[in-house]
Amino acid sequence: MFMQREPRSMGPSSITGAAGYTGFAEGLKLSATARHREKELIYAQGDEAGDIFIVEFGCVRVSRITLEGRRLVTGFYFAGEVFGFETGSERQCYAEALEYSGTRKFHLEDRDLTNPRIADMLFDYLESTHQHLLILGTQNAIERVAAFLVGIADRRGGDGPRARLPMSRSDIADHLGLTLETVSRAIHRLQVLKLITLVGARDVILLDREALIDLGA
Amino acid sequence: MFMQREPRSMGPSSITGAAGYTGFAEGLKLSATARHREKELIYAQGDEAGDIFIVEFGCVRVSRITLEGRRLVTGFYFAGEVFGFETGSERQCYAEALEYSGTRKFHLEDRDLTNPRIADMLFDYLESTHQHLLILGTQNAIERVAAFLVGIADRRGGDGPRARLPMSRSDIADHLGLTLETVSRAIHRLQVLKLITLVGARDVILLDREALIDLGA
DNA sequence: CGCTCATTTGAATCTAATCAACTCCTGTGG
DNA sequence: CCACAGGAGTTGATTAGATTCAAATGAGCG
């Protein structure tokens, strides 16, 4: 299995809730790298909140289950990105490794945002949440999927218009407020429109990034 | 960690993006009250960000327009609630008074969150954004409208199960990712279900708050 | 190679959007 | 006081888009 291990992902945060940083570690007491097997739970709903995580390699999915049992995937996080912000003392979300992944964490004491680095991370997270909200509030299926793919590709940095999708169609669907079948059909339509090419089910090549952005922005 | 520093004036923040506070003014250099006529613009898309507003009386609507010209109403803010957080240096959203309203503001210097009161406001705002996201990501029309009405009624505090809606059906629709006709029909269905009563078009009485929460939570 | 699970594809159904007409409310002016 | 105008809201008919249910295909893994 090919494991992507990018040095860093920069770029503005995207719809999947990323906050990319270089040099984020300065001034933060980071834990040693914890390694997680595929599907391993990193934290659970109900856990005590307060730890913030940084992805070293791999990909993490953060989700939340509603009272009716429906799932919202709040974000996917790649190398260099930060996840784990919560507003209460108990976690409402849970996080899992989508593939073999490494994370480091630091403790956020009592909502202490005096460290401007942490404040920036929180603002970036807020921005990605706004972007996600805009997509769920205003876009249709094909627009959502287009925006999602552009967001993923942008964050994977230097490797051009190609991106691997470590998440399933069902994960994408629950992130975009759609069903997995609708996601599959939207991807198919994007191929017919010659805006993307699929290589297998989990690799996409963006053929016309501008058109995708026009659709999804 | 993440403990509340201070009792809130109202329940947990709701889907409309409210952060209600008593005594919020302590330690903040608030401006004098600015008064706004109905429909008056409080700030515009493109304005310099950095000021945070507190509603003294009335109601404020915050919205954002997408490139395609679609509108997302990110929140409605009532007396005691805080709005105006943005992630960049330029505002992406614009704010308008829905009725004769008063606001006071303070300046947030360069994302400075060292004041724990401001950090709390930001966390509350993040929580309301999460709630909004959950609704747009997982709920259908009648559930969205039920959740919206409960949220409004909860925030209007002491005046029992009755709430005035200073916003139009179209505003509600753009907040919930629906059309105004769908909102109107959902309200009608909630009446038929005997969960609410309408008094005119802009006043609702919640008859069965539990059932509404079951629908919308 | 064969199993399992993810994905795709198809058909039917259903929800919400769209387009259109009509009602209601409110404010204005004769 | 009543008539009228204009905007907001409701209601109806139709359409479009996404969901649901079901089956077939494909990919990865032992």
Confidence of residue B2 (pLDDT cuts 50, 70, 90): very low
* Whole-angstrom distance, CA of residue B101 vs CA of residue B44: 17
Residue whose token pair is 């008064």: B35
* Chain B residues touching A113 at Cβ < 8 A: 113-114, 119, 122
Q: Which residues contact A136 (CB under 8 A, 6 or more apart)?
A: A144, A176, A177, B133, B136, B137, B177
Q: What is the pLDDT of residues B157-171, one digit of tens each?
A: 656 789 999 999 999
Question: Which pLDDT does position A6 carry in this prediction?
Answer: 35
Nearest-Cα residue of chain B relative to residue A143: B68
Asked if strand D comes closer than 7 Å to B202 Cβ, the answer is yes
Question: Which pLDDT does position B184 carry in this prediction?
Answer: 98
Closest CA to B153 of B212, B109, B104, B101: B212
Question: Which pLDDT does position B13 carry in this prediction?
Answer: 37
In terms of DSSP bridges, do strands B101-107 and B34-36 run parallel, antiparallel, or are they unpaired?
A: antiparallel
* Whole-angstrom distance, CA of residue B217 vs CA of residue B58: 27
Query: What kind and span of H or E run contains A61?
Result: strand A59-65
Q: Testing the interface with B: which of A136, A139, A174 to mutate, by most B Cβ within 10 A? A: A136
Question: Which pLDDT does position B16 carry in this prediction?
Answer: 42
Q: Which of A70, A120, A137 sits opposite B72 (nearest CB)?
A: A137
Asked if strand D comes closer than 7 Å to B164 Cβ, the answer is no
Measured in angstroms, the CA of B131 and the nearest CA of chain A are apart by 10
Put simply, whether B174 touches A (Cβ < 8 Å) is: yes
Question: Which pLDDT does position A157 carry in this prediction?
Answer: 65
Confidence of residue A159 (pLDDT cuts 50, 70, 90): low
Put simply, whether A122 touches B (Cβ < 8 Å) is: yes
Q: Which of A67, A111, A119 sits opposite B2 (nearest CB)?
A: A111
* Whole-angstrom distance, CA of residue A101 vs CA of residue A38: 7
Chain B window 136-165: which residues touch A at a Cβ cutoff of 8 Å?
136-138
Closest CA to A45 of A25, A26, A67, A64: A64
What's at A23, amino acid-wise? G
* Whole-angstrom distance, CA of residue B16 vs CA of residue B25: 22
The top-scoring range by mean pLDDT among A118-122, A152-156, B157-161 is A118-122
What are the DSSP E strand ranges found in B48-136?
51-57, 59-65, 71-78, 82-83, 94-97, 101-107
Put simply, whether A111 touches B (Cβ < 8 Å) is: yes
Torsions phi, psi for A93 (to 5 deg): -115, 165
What's at B167, amino acid-wise? M
Residue A205 bridge partners (DSSP):
A162, A197
Q: Are B43 and B91 in contact (CB under 8 A)?
A: yes
* Whole-angstrom distance, CA of residue B118 vs CA of residue A117: 16
* Chain A residues touching B1 at Cβ < 8 A: 48-50, 89, 107-111
* Whole-angstrom distance, CA of residue A170 vs CA of residue B24: 43
Closest CA to B19 of B69, B42, B50, B53: B53
Nearest-Cα residue of chain A relative to residue B172: A137
Counting residues of chain B whose pLDDT is more than 90, the rounded percentage is 80
Q: What is the DSSP letter of A198?
A: E
Query: What kind and span of H or E run contains B125?
Result: helix B116-138
Residue B140: count of CB within 10 angstroms of its CB: 11
Instruction: Provide the CA A148 to C1' C12 distance, Å, integer.
Output: 29
Instruction: Provide the CA A190 to C1' C6 distance, Å, integer.
Output: 20
Question: Which pLDDT does position A21 carry in this prediction?
Answer: 45
* Chain B residues touching A92 at Cβ < 8 A: 130
Put simply, whether A89 touches B (Cβ < 8 Å) is: yes
Q: What is the DSSP letter of A23?
A: S
What's at A161, amino acid-wise? P
| Mean pLDDT to the nearest integer, B105-110 | 93
Q: Are B154 and B10 in contact (CB under 8 A)?
A: yes
* Chain B residues touching A132 at Cβ < 8 A: 133
Q: Are B145 and B191 in contact (CB under 8 A)?
A: no
Q: Testing the interface with A: which of B8, B83, B130 to mutate, by most A Cβ within 10 A? A: B130
Contact B123 A111 (CB under 8 A): yes
Residue whose token pair is 């007491």: A29
Asked if strand C comes closer than 7 Å to A185 Cβ, the answer is yes
Chain A window 11-30: which residues touch B at a Cβ cutoff of 8 Å?
none
Q: Which residues contact A47 (CB under 8 A, 6 or more apart)?
A: A90, A91, A94
Q: Which of A67, A114, A132 sits opposite B114 (nearest CB)?
A: A114
Which domains are seen in chain A, by residue range?
A: 34-137 (2.60.120.10), 140-216 (1.10.10.10)
What is the DSSP secondary-structure string of chain B?
----SS--SSSS--TTT--B-SSTTTTS-PPPPEEE-TT-EEE-TTSBP-EEEEEEESEEEEEEE-TTS-EEEEEEEETTBEE---SSSB-S-EEEESSSEEEEEEE-GGG---SHHHHHHHHHHHHHHHHHHHHHHH--HHHHHHHHHHHHHHHTTTSTTEEE--S-HHHHHHHHTS-HHHHHHHHHHHHHTTSEEEETTTEEEES-HHHHHHHH-
Confidence of residue A24 (pLDDT cuts 50, 70, 90): low
Q: Testing the interface with B: which of A133, A172, A215 to mutate, by most B Cβ within 10 A? A: A133
Question: Which pLDDT does position B160 carry in this prediction?
Answer: 75
Which stretches of A67-140 are DSSP H helices? 116-138
Contact A50 B2 (CB under 8 A): yes
Closest CA to B45 of B97, B107, B88: B88
Q: Which nucleotides of D are covered by protein (CB under 7 A)?
A: 8-13, 17-22, 27-29
Confidence of residue B186 (pLDDT cuts 50, 70, 90): very high
Q: Output the average pLDDT for chain B.
A: 89
* Whole-angstrom distance, CA of residue B187 vs CA of residue B7: 33
